[in-house]
Structures are given as C-alpha cells and as structure tokens.
Amino acid sequence: MDVPSVQAAADPAGSALLTDLYQLTMALGYWRAGRAEQEVAFHLYFRNAPFGGGYAVACGVEPALAYLEALRFDAADLAYLATLRGDDGSALFPADFLDALGALRVTLDVDAVAEGTVVFPGEPMVRVTGPLLQAQLVETALLVHLGFPTLVATKAARVCRAAQGDAVVEFGLRRAQGPDGGLSSTRAAYVGGCASSSHVLAGQRFGVPVRGTHAHSWVMAFGDEREAFAAYADALPNNVVLLVDTYDTLDGVRHAIETGLALRAHGHRLQAIRLDSGDLAYLSRQARRLLDDAGLPEVRIMATNDLDETVIASLKQQGAPIDIWGVGTRLATAYDQPALGAVYKLTAVREGGAWVPRVKVSEQQEKTTLPGLLQVRRYATGADDGDDAGAFAADMIVDESAPAPAGEALMIDPRDDTRRRRFAADAPWEPLLVAALRAGRRVRDAEPLEASRDRAQAQLAGFHAGITRLVNPHRFPVGLEAGLHERRRRLVLAARGG
C-alpha cells in the first residue's frame, strides 16, 4: 500500500476523509438497506457552557459551510478506502459503493446561526436536513469545524470582557495544537473580540490584523540592552515595542525611555513597552511612573506571561495601568477546557411526506434529545421594559414541523417544568437558524470576518451583564415551546414503555 505523502496530509480541512470510519460504515449500511435517500433532520448543539460561564460564541460556521459545498471524494480518497479490509481480509467497502461515493454531491439543506452569534446550551447551532447517507456522513466534519473554534471564540470573548475595552493581542501560535489548530484558533480569537494577532499566515488567510514585538533573544544577541533597543528602533522606527525584562525590568524601562526620546528627536515614537514576567501589577505601576516622569505618557504598557481572563480581571482590580494584553497559550489552546462537548443528533425522519419526530432517551436528562425540526426564537424585551427595552429576553426552542400555537406562546424550562414564561403573539423575536445551504449550494453570502467579530460584540452587549459575567453567571432563559415539551414527554414515556 502506498504511504500518503506529507503534502497530501498537510491541509485536511477540505478532505472528504476528515471523518470517522463509522460514518462511512454507516453510510454503506444505509446504502445497502435502501435508506440512503430517506430524508432526515439532524441538529448540532452543546450541552454545557464552557469555562464555567453561561454562554458560547458560535464560530466555525463559515468554514463548515464551505466544506460542505465543496465536499468530494477524489480518486486518492477512493483508492485509500479501497485498501481497507474487514476481519476476513476482504475489502471493507465494495467497488460499487466507492463508485457511489465518487459520484456524491452534497444536496443537503443547512440552516445555521450566523458566525459570532451568542448561543446557549441545548439550543441548535446547525440544522441539517436531507438524504440520510449525506446527513450522517458530515457529522464528524461539522463537529470538528465548529467545536474547537467555538471554544476559542468564547475564551476570547471572556478575556476581552476582563480587559474592559483594552486591546487584546492573540499570541498563541507557537503553543497551538498543530498548524491547523493554530489557524483555527487565531481566526476564532478574532471573532471572539481580539484586536490582532502575531500570526502572519492568519493575517494573509483571514485578514486578521498582525502585530509583533521582539523576543528576549534579540536583546541577548547584542552586547547590552541599550544597544539592542537602539538597533531595533533603527531597523523598524515605525513599529517599536520593546521587551524590557531580559535582565532587570525597571532598568529595561529606563533604557526603553532613552530609546523613546531618541525616536522622538527623529520624528518617530516608542509605541509601547512589554512586560513578560514578575509582578505585573507592581512593575506596570513603576513603569508608568517612569514613562510619565520622562515625558512619555503616550507610550503604552503591554503585558504578556500566561494571561487569561482570571489573571487580567485580577490585575484590573489591582489598578494595574496596562493598556494592551498579549494572551497566548491559555487562549489558543482553550487551556482550561479542551473540548466543547458538541453533539450531532438525529431528531426527525420524513415518512409519507410528513416529518416524524425521533428522540434518544438517556438516564441523564441532559442527554435526552429534542424531537422535531427545531428552530430557536430569540425574544427581545418590549417597550414596557424601560431601560432594558430591546435587550435579549429569552430563547425559545420550537418545532417547525408542528403547527404553530395560536395566540400567545408558552415557554417551559426543560430542567424544571414549573418554571414557565408567556410571550404575546406580537412579542418581537428573530430566528437564530437561518438558511445557509439549499440543495448543497449557498443561499447566503460568506461575510467578512470583521462582520462576524462585530456581531459577537453587538450580541454580547445585548445581554444583561449578569449573563456574561465571568464567575457564577446568571442563567439566560432557554426553554421549550409548550407543544414541543409535551411531544418530547410523550415520546420519552413511549420509549420507556410508559
């Protein structure tokens, strides 16, 4: 068997083989059973908000849609699949099935939240309807395209909230989970609110603004720190950010001040100094005093060194005069939660022209699925709500395959069915799942990454501050439309023989 080249494996994001083997074995089973074209509905969602928070920022939607639209099994893919063997040594996949895969073109309908939408546990981010074989086959790719980016975008949103409007620079490429993880994390960090990144390839690919300083090795390569700073300023007079802690931090600040005054004399300026170790609260206060006393109040202070939202919030509480935050490892790797735990579940099948709901029952309530063709209505507060008018009020999950209730809508909390909320028939709401693909082709244009970033910021601002706080957030109301709640209850009882 030929060994795939490194080059062929270098960019997996568009490969039809970006999947688990069992998706392909199930596809073969559906094909053999004559079920490949049966129309079904799947939904992708997550069960628990990451990082102990209350929300997530949806990310990876646009790359997922691009993947689906371009999905093809090429000759190399089929040749590899032909080499796979079952326990008896015979081919795992018959030649006529591989021919069918080679002819496959995605005809799925996909409805999805827009990139940067704030979403909550249990509510679908993506709805896929169409032929069973296709809808099953894309499960793994959808989960991998959305899971990790949503984690990083959410982490970035939390870090930026802690920074209280200060610029956050993503510095995580060198610690990222491989080259592909590095690209995904930088893109997601920008959607989540980071102002820029050190990652040059992400700048080229996605238009993320790139920023950089220098390393300790630059200083160590010269005879002393003064010489190193002067040489850097001479080489890049329009991009001078000096790392001041190679030897003694406060001496480094003094040397940076000398460089800053020299730059000013030649019509340039020292943009910032960077602190990368030690007591950042103390050192930033001392550095600010030195800079101000030297007549350089415009020079900003940047901090790095294993920062995350908790450390930044603490430094803010201590009054550290830090202007820019460089966040690397703990952002690019979603350090304190390695997986979102997203799932992709079948919720309905089409029989005789009508949608028939399906439910997966579990001993754990959170793992019992919602049946039907699901949609999320995001309600806004009304004019009678005073200062909160227009803010997000609640998300109600409805089944679009069922008749809509006449008059007011009743929402029931799935965790406690005694908690209920009513919405007038004319209460303002918007659907979160919006048509993205129809018959496998885009029906909404891909948008600039900046628009996704702006959406995330606008949505986060639309929630009460208690929803987005970092510690012990208030739970945003997410519930089921009463008819969906009752339908689920009946299906669960029937599955349990009740």
**What pTM was computed for the model?**
0.94
For residue range 388-403, list pLDDT tens digits in order.
Answer: 656 899 999 999 999 8
- Report pLDDT for 13: 65
Q: Are strands 272-275 and 241-243 parallel, antiparallel or unpaired?
A: parallel
- Report pLDDT for 384: 58
What residues does each domain of the chain span? 1-29+72-105, 153-332
CATH of domain 153-332: 3.20.20.70
At which residue do the structure tokens 């699949």 appear?
81
User: C-alpha angle with apex 346: 341 to 347, nearest 5 degrees?
Assistant: 110
Alpha-carbon distances, residue 423 vs 45, 428, 429, 482 (angstroms): 25, 9, 10, 12
Write out the two tokens for 345: 């579940």
End-to-end CA gap in the chain: 54
- Report pLDDT for 10: 42
Question: What's the rounded Cα separation, in Å, for the pair 67 and 368?
Answer: 29
Q: Phi and psi of 77, rounded to 5°?
A: -60, -50
- Report pLDDT for 64: 97
- Report pLDDT for 389: 57
Question: What's the rounded Cα separation, in Å, for the pair 116 and 290?
Answer: 41
Q: Phi and psi of 395, rounded to 5°?
A: -115, 125
Q: Phi and psi of 66, rounded to 5°?
A: -65, -40
For residue range 474-488, list pLDDT tens digits in order.
Answer: 999 999 999 999 999
Contact 183, 205 (CB under 8 A): yes
3-state secondary structure 266-332: CCCCCCEEEECCCCHHHHHHHHHHHHHHCCCCCCEEEECCCCCHHHHHHHHHCCCCCCEEEECHHHH
Q: Please give the single-letter amino acid code of residue 438.
A: R
Question: What's the rounded Cα separation, in Å, for the pair 402 and 482?
Answer: 12
- Report pLDDT for 29: 98
Question: What's the rounded Cα separation, in Å, for the pair 321 and 297?
Answer: 12
- Which parts of the chain have pLDDT scores under 50? 1-10
- Report pLDDT for 173: 96
